[in-house]
Copies of this chain bind each other. A is one copy, B any other.
Amino acid sequence: MTEPLWIAGAWRASDEPTGTFRAIDPATGEAIGPAFPRSSPADVERAVAAAAAAALALAELDPARIDGFLDDYAARIDGDAEALVAIAARETGLPREPRLLRVELPRTTGQLRQAAEAVRTASFAQPTIDTRAGLRACFAALRKPVLVLGPNNFPFAFNAIAGGDFAAALAAGNPVIAKAHPSHPATSQALAVHAAAALAAAELPSGAIQLIYDLPHPLGLRLAGDDRLGAIAFTGSRRGGLALKAAADAAAVPIYLEMSSINPVFILPGALDQRGAAIAEELTSSCTLGAGQFCTNPGLVVLADSPAARDFIAEATRRFAAAPPALLLSPGVRDELEASVAALTAAGARVLAGGARGPGAGCWFQPTLLSATAAQLLANPALQREAFGPVTLVVVAPDAAALPVIAGALEGNLTASLYAAADGHDEAPYRAVARVLRGRVGRLLDDKMPTGVAVSPAMVHGGPFPATAHPGFTSVGMPAAIRRFAALHAYDHVGDAHLPPVLRDRNPGAVWRSIDGQWTTEDVAAERAGGQEHRS
Give bound CA distance, A250 to B246, whole Å.
7
Tell which of B143, B246, B254, B494 touches A446, judged by Cβ atoms closer than 8 Å: B494
Say yes or no: is A381 at the interface (Cβ < 8 Å to chain B).
Answer: no
Say yes or no: is A266 at the interface (Cβ < 8 Å to chain B).
Answer: no
Give bound CA distance, A483 to B98, whole Å.
40
Give bound CA distance, A227 to B492, whole Å.
38
A130 surroundings in chain B (CB, below 8 A): 454, 456-459
CB-CB contacts below 8 Å: A501-523 with B: 512, 514, 517-520
Contact B439 A252 (CB under 8 A): no
A143 surroundings in chain B (CB, below 8 A): 438-439
Complex interface bits, A99-125 against B, C-beta within 8 A gives 1, otherwise 0: 000000000000000000000010100
Give bound CA distance, A136 to B469, whole Å.
22
Contact B519 A439 (CB under 8 A): no
A447 surroundings in chain B (CB, below 8 A): 493
Say yes or no: is A434 at the interface (Cβ < 8 Å to chain B).
Answer: yes
Complex interface bits, A122-144 against B, C-beta within 8 A gives 1, otherwise 0: 01000011101101110111111
Tell which of B137, B142, B430, B454 touches A460, judged by Cβ atoms closer than 8 Å: B137
Which residue of B is nearest A518, CB measured? B512
Contact A517 B457 (CB under 8 A): yes
Which residue of B is nearest A444, CB measured? B491
Tell which of B59, B121, B491 touches A439, judged by Cβ atoms closer than 8 Å: B59
A536 surroundings in chain B (CB, below 8 A): 452, 454, 456
CB-CB contacts below 8 Å: A216-244 with B: 227
Contact A123 B517 (CB under 8 A): yes
Say yes or no: is A294 at the interface (Cβ < 8 Å to chain B).
Answer: no
A140 surroundings in chain B (CB, below 8 A): 438
Identical chains bound together, number: 2
Which residue of B is nearest A255, CB measured? B249
Tell which of B139, B144, B456, B492 touches A443, judged by Cβ atoms closer than 8 Å: B492
Give bound CA distance, A140 to B512, whole Å.
23
Say yes or no: is A379 at the interface (Cβ < 8 Å to chain B).
Answer: no
Say yes or no: is A445 at the interface (Cβ < 8 Å to chain B).
Answer: yes
Contact B446 A495 (CB under 8 A): yes
Tell which of B59, B459, B495 touches A490, judged by Cβ atoms closer than 8 Å: B459
Complex interface bits, A450-478 against B, C-beta within 8 A gives 1, otherwise 0: 00101011111010111001111110000
A442 surroundings in chain B (CB, below 8 A): 487-490
A133 surroundings in chain B (CB, below 8 A): 454, 456, 458-459
Say yes or no: is A528 at the interface (Cβ < 8 Å to chain B).
Answer: no
Contact B254 A458 (CB under 8 A): no
User: A252 to chain B: closest CB distance in Å?
Assistant: 4
A472 surroundings in chain B (CB, below 8 A): 139, 254, 483-484, 486-488
Going nearest first, the 10 A-B pairs with the smallest beta carbon separation are A143-B439, A519-B519, A460-B490, A471-B487, A135-B458, A249-B249, A130-B458, A443-B490, A252-B465, A133-B456
Query: Can you give 8 contacting A-B residue pairs, CB < 8 Å?
Result: A135-B458, A143-B439, A144-B439, A246-B250, A415-B492, A443-B492, A444-B492, A472-B484
